[in-house]
């Protein structure tokens, strides 16, 4: 019989585990501390549980953590880790050190079914949803996890397409009995799945990032097939109805393609669409992928676009590109193999 995984269980679920194996209910909080506070790798390490309790636990349960099966390190310090999943798939996550900050970019699915034309993950196709255990294991088992300051759900997959597992993961990351992180340290990205975003805004206080990439629906559709079902104008209407005056931050991701979405016409439309919102825009350099018709904009053009948007009231930054030499930068995660 395959053992159930403790990693990914809420405090109430751990109480059920206690009842199943004949442990007192207060032991659930002890287990949560060992799991989410101390990141133990075996039940034997839960030393304030009796030997009898640990033996009973081990008959039915395992921690559920799995070490990365491979790693690549960039010249800029970025590291890309390959993790096996419960279903037998493989996914990548990226550790990005930056001075006093250390960000982990986690995956929520094996592959992706959104099919964005400029993304290696989209080309990979869809391999299935990750479990909450799979998602949290990336945080739990990546080397240097104790120094993490931020987590972004911007790896493989569309988080709103696996929302149950993503919400459970963010709940455990922010719960007082879990990692006890502030929601301000976590950002969840999406192409704009309306029902998912509506639920996310109700059930989570984490930051939200929308993958925009083009302000004109017809042009966005040519790049992002999801526009047909999840139109950006409909999403913006929804977002304008929200109160963004509290702690949650709204941002828009915008990969800049040379001659495709970097004109003054695009800049003007971005200002028109985004000015009513309390938000920021992150400009992202396009990283060339094999057999792609797209090309990145020049540095001068990116600076011009940043300055134009900022001068017209839309706070805009250029995101630093990290890990491109190991295919760890935005849009390059694929997990078919680490050597391409």
DSSP H or E run through 26? none
Question: Tokens at residue 10, please?
Answer: 């809420």
Residues annotated as catalytic are 92, 330
Label residue 58 left, alpha or beta by phi (over 0 means left) and psi (-120 to 50 means alpha): alpha
Instruction: Determine the Cα–Cα distance for residues 325 and 323; give it in Å rounded to an integer.
Output: 5
Question: Tokens at residue 41, please?
Answer: 């790798």
Closest by CA position to 335, among listed 42, 90, 102, 162: 90
Q: How many CA atoms lie within 13 A of 305 on its CB side?
A: 31
Is 72:326 a contact under the CB 8 Å cutoff? yes
Q: Where are the beta strands (DSSP E) in 2-147?
A: 4-5, 61-62, 70-73, 79-84, 90-98, 101-105, 109-111, 126-129
Closest by CA position to 336, among listed 76, 89, 63: 89
Q: How far is CA 285 from CA 90, 157, 169, 329, in A?
A: 26, 20, 29, 9
């Amino acid at each position: 019989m395959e053992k159930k995984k403790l990693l990914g269980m809420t405090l109430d679920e751990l109480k059920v585990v206690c009842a199943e194996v004949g442990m007192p209910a207060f032991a659930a909080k002890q287990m949560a501390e060992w799991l989410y506070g101390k990141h133990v790798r075996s039940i034997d390490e839960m030393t304030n549980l009796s030997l009898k309790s640990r033996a009973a636990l081990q008959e039915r349960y395992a921690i559920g953590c799995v070490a990365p099966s491979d790693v690549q390190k960039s010249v800029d310090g970025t590291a890309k880790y390959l993790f096996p999943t419960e279903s037998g798939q493989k996914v990548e996550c990226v550790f990005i050190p930056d001075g006093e900050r250390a960000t982990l970019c986690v995956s929520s699915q094996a592959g992706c079914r959104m099919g964005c034309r400029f993304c290696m993950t989209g080309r990979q196709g869809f391999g299935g949803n990750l479990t909450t255990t799979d998602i949290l294991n990336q945080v739990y088992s990546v080397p240097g996890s104790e120094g993490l300051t931020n987590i972004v759900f911007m790896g493989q997959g569309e988080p709103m397409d696996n929302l149950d597992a993503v919400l459970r993961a963010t709940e455990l990351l922010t719960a007082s009995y879990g990692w006890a992180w502030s929601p301000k340290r976590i950002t969840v990205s999406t192409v704009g799945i309306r029902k998912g975003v509506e639920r996310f805004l109700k059930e989570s206080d984490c930051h939200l990032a929308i993958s925009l990439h083009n302000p004109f629906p017809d042009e966005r559709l040519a790049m992002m097939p999801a526009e047909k079902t999840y139109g950006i104008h409909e999403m913006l209407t929804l977002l304008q109805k929200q109160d963004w005056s509290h702690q949650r931050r709204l941002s828009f991701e915008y990969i800049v393609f040379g001659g495709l979405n970097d004109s003054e016409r695009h800049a003007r439309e971005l200002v028109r669409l985004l000015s009513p919102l309390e938000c920021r825009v992150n400009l992202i350099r396009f990283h060339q992928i094999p057999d792609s018709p797209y090309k990145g904009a020049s540095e001068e053009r990116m600076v011009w676009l940043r300055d134009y948007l900022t001068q017209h009231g839309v706070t805009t930054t250029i995101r630093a590109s990290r890990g491109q030499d190991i295919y760890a930068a935005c849009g390059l995660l694929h997990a078919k193999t680490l050597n391409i």
